[in-house]
């Protein structure tokens, strides 16, 4: 498992100045992680943190499935001509990248920016899933497993014999490519929470 401290990642200002993005990882289906700051034209999937500092439109990404979960407090209302969503803390939402959405923060002037964990996946390349977990899980095989610890500590135990356990604390992320079935994710405290992302190859 590759372990990343997300708060140590460099931030990039959005083109419209309304927020900041920290790229965590990106890659192409069936290939290694892509270094640097690739656009989705170069990658099939992308995981990032986004700080929303002011209300404004979301960028559109045709052909892309989007997942997001709000970290911390507050809420963000996404509204558009054909629907929207109300993003609440640790409640994942999913929407097509084609959707024209406007983000409105609640409250409008928070003490800290509203922060999303974002997943974008090219629809024809991979299948994607985002969940919030609070109990131990035995994992099925996956092309990629990503976990971001929100609260407490977590243990990751690989399925392979002889591979050592990994511990993750709050604001640390872990990435495993070509995950073998039988790996275990387990909380080490009763109130531990984590965001789980799984990517799988299409049938």
Res. 51: pLDDT tops 70 = yes
Q: Which CATH number is 9-125's, of 2.60.120.10, 2.40.440.10, 1.10.3720.10, 3.30.470.10?
A: 2.60.120.10
What's the token pair of residue 165?
């356990």
What mean pLDDT is predicted for residues 169-196?
96
Residue ranges of the alpha helices (H) in 30-157?
none
Nearest partner of 37 among 61, 12, 8, 14, judged by Cα: 12
* Other C-beta atoms lying within 10 Å of the C-beta of residue 122: 20
Structure confidence at residue 34 as a pLDDT band (50, 70, 90):
low
Q: Give the C-alpha separation, 186 to 133, whole Å.
A: 9
Q: Say if residues 133 and 85 touch (Cβ distance below 8 Å).
A: no
Average pLDDT, the chain: 90
Q: Give the C-alpha separation, 96 to 54, whole Å.
A: 22
Q: Give the C-alpha separation, 117 to 69, whole Å.
A: 5
What's the token pair of residue 2?
């590759």
Structure confidence at residue 202 as a pLDDT band (50, 70, 90):
confident
- Look at residue 198 in the predicted model and tell me its pLDDT: 97
CATH 3.65.10.10 fits 129-200, yes or no: no
- Look at residue 145 in the predicted model and tell me its pLDDT: 97
Start-end ranges of CATH 2.60.120.10 in the chain? 9-125, 129-200
């Amino acid at each position: 498992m590759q372990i990343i401290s997300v708060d140590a990642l460099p931030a990039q200002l959005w083109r419209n100045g309304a927020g900041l993005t920290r790229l965590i990882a990106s890659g192409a289906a069936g290939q290694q992680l892509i270094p640097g700051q690739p656009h989705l034209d170069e990658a099939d999937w992308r995981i990032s943190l986004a700080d929303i500092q002011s209300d404004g439109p979301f960028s559109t990404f045709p052909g892309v499935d989007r997942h997001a979960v709000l970290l911390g407090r507050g809420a963000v209302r996404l509204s558009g001509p054909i629907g929207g969503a109300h993003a609440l803390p640790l409640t994942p939402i999913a929407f097509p990248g084609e959707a024209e959405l406007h983000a409105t923060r609640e409250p409008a002037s928070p003490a800290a920016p509203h922060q999303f964990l974002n997943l974008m996946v090219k629809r024809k390349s991979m299948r994607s899933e985002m969940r919030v977990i609070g109990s131990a899980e035995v994992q099925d095989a996956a092309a990629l497993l990503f976990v971001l610890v929100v609260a407490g500590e977590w243990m990751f135990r690989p399925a392979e014999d002889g591979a050592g356990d990994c511990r993750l604390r709050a604001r640390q992320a872990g990435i495993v490519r070509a995950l073998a079935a039988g790996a275990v994710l387990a909380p080490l405290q009763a109130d531990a929470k984590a965001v789980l992302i799984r990517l799988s190859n299409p049938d």
